[in-house]
Amino acid sequence: MARGDGLWLRTLSGVCPDGGLMGAKLIAASIRNRRAAYLIPLFDQQTVELVALVDAASITGFRTAATSALAADALTPAHALTVAVIGSGFEARMHLRALAAIRDIKAVRVFSPNPASRARFIGELADLGLSITSAENAPAAVAGADLIICAARSRDETPTLHGDWIGEGAAVISIGSTLPEQREVHVSVVARARVIVADAVEEVSHDTGDMLAARQAGIDFEPRLVSLFEVFVESGKRRRAGRRIAALQIGRRRTAGPCHCRDVRGAGA
């Protein structure tokens, strides 16, 4: 991570074990302008020649949404889901598409501050054939939802989801806090969570604004922090035994590199 005045540049690198390609994901962001750009350069391992420059914005959208959908599938009951979406942009649309690809969805309520954006969200997802309605505020969208997708941070980093809005047994997907200065969910959400799942445990625990705020508030979340890998292993065991995970009870826990997905079970789940 390289930082400037209101700017940062992050690099996530990897080498494929098959001997073919190696590469990196570059993320350039302006905190002041709330804009980000993504690029993936790929190199041949034998010749180290540059073989591709890939637009990583689309890949990020697909990858983040797919990770979230897999986690949500493991952490929610088997019945058709009532889904709340906070946010109406690219990430929000990708998340709903990914979830709809693997789960039955009973109804969707979406909230974002701009009514025109909510209408555009509904129109652009009409091909899914889902019942999608616009909510006037976030609590109305969240009320009674089995699954809450948080895919939009406020401009001043004020949390967009509070714990007292969430019904018992609900699951939350939060993707918006990947740096210390970023906030998406209120500390009350962390306090109520029965289990917190992330695919980059150390980063989520020590480098994300939501968890730093929770720790500062005196919330001991570490015993409830579990890795996404552990969830998939446990999910596979239970499914092979003919049982879904109705309530996950493992001891420890973004999204390779930064955390792209965090799933939270509500109190009493």
Expressed as residue numbers, the domain containing 186 is: 60-265
Alpha helices in 125-219 (DSSP H): 138-142, 187-192, 201-207, 209-216
Within-domain flag for 53? no
Contact 176, 150 (CB under 8 A): yes
DSSP 224: G
Task: Kindly report which listed range (90-94, 209-213, 222-226, 236-240) carries the lowest average pLDDT score.
Answer: 236-240
> Which residues have C-beta within 8 Å of that of residue 173, sequence separation ≥ 6?
68, 71, 72, 95, 147, 148, 149, 150, 261, 262, 263
Within-domain flag for 54? no
Q: Is the pLDDT of residue 269 over 50?
A: no
Q: Is the pLDDT of residue 262 over 60?
A: no
41 and 66 assigned to the same domain: no
What is the band of 241 on the pLDDT scale with cuts at 50, 70, 90?
low
7 and 69 assigned to the same domain: no
Q: How many other CB atoms are found less than 10 A from the CB of residue 263?
A: 28
Q: How many independent structural domains does the chain possess?
A: 2
Higher pLDDT pick, 105 / 266: 105
* CA separation for the pair 196, 218 (Å, rounded): 16
Which of 28, 48, 68 delimits the end of a domain? 48
Rg (CA), the chain: 18
Within-domain flag for 203? yes
8 and 74 assigned to the same domain: no
* CA separation for the pair 248, 245 (Å, rounded): 6
Q: What are phi and psi of 187, to 5 degrees?
A: -60, -25
155 and 242 assigned to the same domain: yes
133 and 253 assigned to the same domain: yes
What is the band of 236 on the pLDDT scale with cuts at 50, 70, 90?
low
Within-domain flag for 55? no
34 and 76 assigned to the same domain: no
43 and 100 assigned to the same domain: no
What is the band of 231 on the pLDDT scale with cuts at 50, 70, 90?
confident
Within-domain flag for 7? yes
Average pLDDT over residues 164-183: 87
Residue (of 4, 12, 2) closest to 203 by Cα position: 12
Q: What's the pLDDT score for residue 74?
A: 87
180 and 226 assigned to the same domain: yes
30 and 68 assigned to the same domain: no
Residues 106-156: tens digit of each pLDDT: 999 999 999 999 999 999 999 999 999 999 999 999 999 999 999 987 777
Task: Kindly report which listed range (47-61, 147-161, 187-201, 255-269) carries the lowest average pLDDT score.
Answer: 255-269
Pairing of strands 196-198, 225-227: parallel
Q: What's the pLDDT score for residue 150?
A: 94
C-alpha 16: how far from its chain's center?
A: 25
Alpha helices in the chain (DSSP H): 56-75, 90-102, 115-124, 138-142, 187-192, 201-207, 209-216, 228-240
Average pLDDT over residues 33-55: 93
Q: Is the pLDDT of residue 252 over 60?
A: no
Q: Is the pLDDT of residue 4 over 80?
A: yes
Give me the chain's average pLDDT, please: 85
Higher pLDDT pick, 69 / 265: 69
Residues 67-85: tens digit of each pLDDT: 999 999 988 988 999 999 9
Contact 205, 178 (CB under 8 A): no
Q: What are phi and psi of 148, to 5 degrees?
A: -120, 125
The highest-confidence range among 110-119, 168-177, 207-216, by mean pLDDT, is 110-119
66 and 198 assigned to the same domain: yes
CATH number at residue 205: 3.40.50.720
157 and 93 assigned to the same domain: yes
Within-domain flag for 149? yes
- Sign for the pseudo-dihedral over CA of 64, 65, 70, 73: positive
- Output the six-digit token pair for 55: 């637009």
Within-domain flag for 126? yes
259 and 177 assigned to the same domain: yes
